[in-house]
Chain A
Amino acid sequence: MLLQGKTALVTGASRGIGAEIAAALASHGAVVIVGYYSRQDAAERTVERIRASGGRARAHRADVRSASEAAAMVEDAVEHYGSIDIVVNNALSPYSFSPSARRTAWEQEWDDYREQLEGSVHGAYNVCKAAMPHMQKQSSGRIINIVTNLIDFPVVPYHDYTTAKSALLGYTRNLAAELGRFGITVNALAPGLTQGTDSSRDTKEDVRRDIIRLTPLQRLAVPQDIAGAAVLLASDLAGFITGQCLRVDGGLVMG
């Protein structure tokens, strides 16, 4: 039980990686706010899953692009569970990873970038802004922002998505520099292509095979891989790690 007594908020936790992170944090003792935006049914299933394994969780709907909704979600956590110790910013504007249907650089509109920046960076900003005062008061906290290994190795150039995630990595490092003095760590987690999620459904077999061929551990990530790394960064084991980007991609990107 690495996270006994902690309260965690995971955004975008109804499905995929977010749901798995929520379940993993709960399995290590954290009580979890399952943040979601559109998929109430899936969020409820995540909550059910956590409760069925003896954990505590509640779902909370919020559009993290809205400062007030993000703040309300953080206050909900504090009101119900007394604190906010761990924040995992996983939500993003809807995105489908389809190598064949993606837009090329010359087809991208600035609005595409804006939408991804809104979801990834503005969303994380709003949640962190609301959580920071509580973490400062506690002199502790863990913020984990989900980015992508495409920042280092754009094996498929998803321009808008990856640019926004790069910005989120920059935000992460600056936040780490600023918040370290309060005992708050801020790190990024960079998954490789993760199978079994709705957004990776459109990544077809040939691209998967190419990635696997280049990956030392010879497979794609599964949500549990990302969740395990999130538990590590959320726990006291990682108390002296901040401002880092931990790649969870089977060794595809090294360094």
Chain B
Amino acid sequence: MTAPGRGEGDMNKAIKQEPLQVQAYFLPPGIEADVTVAARFDTPDGPAELLVPALNEDKLRSIADELKRRREEYLASLTTADVVERIAAAAERWLDPAYPHRQLAERLLPGLTGYAADSIRLQLKRYMRTFRKKELLRFIGEELDDPLMLDEFRPRKSGGFSRAYGPELIFHVFSGNVPGVSLWSLAMGLVARSAQLGKTSLAEPLMAVLFARSLAEIDPRLAEAIAIVPWKGGSRELESAAIASADAVVVYGGGGTVESVRAIVPAGKRFVAYGPKASVALIGREALTPDRLNGTVARLAADIAHYDQQSCMSPHCVYVEEGGSVDARSFAAYAAAELGRLQLRWPRSALTDSEAYAIHDVRNRYWLEEAEGGGAAVYASPGGTDWTVIYRDVPGFDVSPLNRTLVVYRCRSLEDDAVPALASCGREGLLQTCGVAVHPQRLFGMAERLGRIGANRLCPLGTMLQAKAGWHHDGRFNLIDLLRFADIERGTEDDAEQYDPDFE
């Protein structure tokens, strides 16, 4: 045998690869900025780094002014149909697996966000389908009886005419929890014919930038009214400057983010917030028959695994009704096994110490209760925090530490036990999506009860993260929240006739 290692040096030297530099910003033409490296992360093809522009108040103000100017020159003159065509055309590109921006997103997002590559790929394409033309039209039609109101004064059924105006400039504060969540907000703002200043989170600054580039491919002048810039949240000077320049502010994020921005938005300026929400699943005994059981568990577990429960639409807990082919305790064990399998398919992201601590804390609490003979049981991934299922024999509601931590509550009846257990969550304005698996005859009764306590979306298990275009996000309208209306009151147009010199 030759000496160990001989000849091994010619190939396979340690690979010293230059990092791929990724522009995590999108600025209108003519705006120059110094660029710095904000973050480094790994991709399957080697290291990458995020480039972000250096910003100060003046720079931000000049960006905002430029956006407004460009909007006035072009975007403001487009019709609703024009804008819908362009957004849909950009989305159609994203629905081609070979589209370079999509491929780039699929390569970069896993390393950047920690979410599993296959999960991101699946969720992104599902999401992009909601931007097809038919969906955009459905969405606008849901909110405006006559979408042409965005283009011109339109006759109203009650007489007179009305027209809707969007803000000149919208300042968005995007969250980084779910890739691409920024795109709806951008699309909505464009439909409102507003210039868009988006502040992204460094946790996921890419999708807004890539989509803006797609829009620029379709119509460069439209995209000139968009700027996407990341900065670290809480920078009072930058946020105040952006708010001062904008006439509407849209914020996505946790309670702290929403409140800190709300505090500096002057009264009278349009402020729309999508703050913290909690979602749950409710499973009736009829979904636990031997033929339905596998599917029920698989769909619930997928809702938990995608984006590691970080979406506001991800379930924190599940209420499992007695009387099916498995009891709630066995259901918990089954859900745990399924989460174990999904760990191989869509591995969970690495956690920060405090995130992991929160999971250990919950586990310890219920381990103790289990040991003391209480009605709890803990099913936990061995040697880590990959997944946790906690069984409790009395319905309740606690906010989950997330990252694939599920509480299974046993209940005798969903209507009589689960709904009351959720009432306080609803009162606090937290309750959002309810993934339900019940008989059709129960559905509307359940919806009535859940709606009354504050839930605003019932959907099938397995689709909890895929809200349909036109849904009442957090129970409200979305586009309408951004618009102001001008009316020509009934009779005014008739009255005007007499001022025509040719009148009678």
Contacts and interface: CB of A to CB of B under 8 A. Distances in A.
A219 B5 contact: no
Given A79-B2, A196-B118, A213-B294, A44 B345 contact: no
Among B4, B14, B345, residue most surrounded by chain A Cβ atoms (within 10 Å):
B345
B7 A58 contact: yes
Contacts of B496: none
B31 interface: no
A162 B345 CA distance: 25
Interface string A187-214: 0000000011000001001000100110
- Classify chain B's interface size: 20 to 34
A205 B122 contact: yes
A226 to B, nearest CB: 13
B6 interface: yes
B439 interface: no
B427 interface: no
A64 interface: no
Interface in B79-135: 97, 118, 122
A196 B117 CA distance: 9
A220 interface: yes
Contact of A58 (B1, B12, B118): B12
Contacts of A196: 118
Interface in A178-193: none
Interface string A31-55: 0000000000101110110010000
B338 interface: yes
Interface residues of A, number: 27
A44 B10 CA distance: 11
Nearest to A40: B11
Contacts of B337: 218
Among B12, B15, B341, residue most surrounded by chain A Cβ atoms (within 10 Å):
B12
A195 B116 CA distance: 12
A137 interface: no
B11 A47 contact: yes
B2 A80 contact: yes
Given A195-B118, A205-B122, A219-B341, A80 B6 contact: yes
Contacts of B7: 58, 80
A59 B11 contact: yes
Given A82-B1, A205-B122, A220-B345, A58 B8 contact: yes
Contacts of A57: 12
B298 interface: yes
Given A196-B118, A218-B338, A218-B341, A48 B298 contact: no
A222 interface: yes
B371 interface: no
A212 B15 contact: no
A58 B11 CA distance: 7
Given A195-B118, A218-B338, A44 B15 contact: yes
21 contacts: A44-B12, A45-B15, A47-B11, A51-B12, A56-B5, A56-B8, A58-B12, A59-B12, A79-B2, A82-B1, A196-B118, A209-B298, A212-B298, A213-B294, A217-B341, A218-B338, A219-B341, A219-B344, A219-B345, A220-B345, A222-B344
Given A195-B118, A218-B294, A218-B338, 4 more contacts: A44-B15, A47-B11, A80-B7, A220-B345
Interface of B: 1-2, 4-8, 11-12, 14-15, 45, 97, 118, 122, 294-295, 298, 337-338, 341-342, 344-345
The 10 closest A-B pairs by CB, nearest first: A82-B1, A47-B12, A219-B341, A44-B12, A59-B11, A222-B344, A58-B8, A59-B12, A205-B122, A80-B2
Interface of A: 41, 43-45, 47-48, 51, 56-59, 79-82, 195-196, 202, 205, 209, 212-213, 217-220, 222
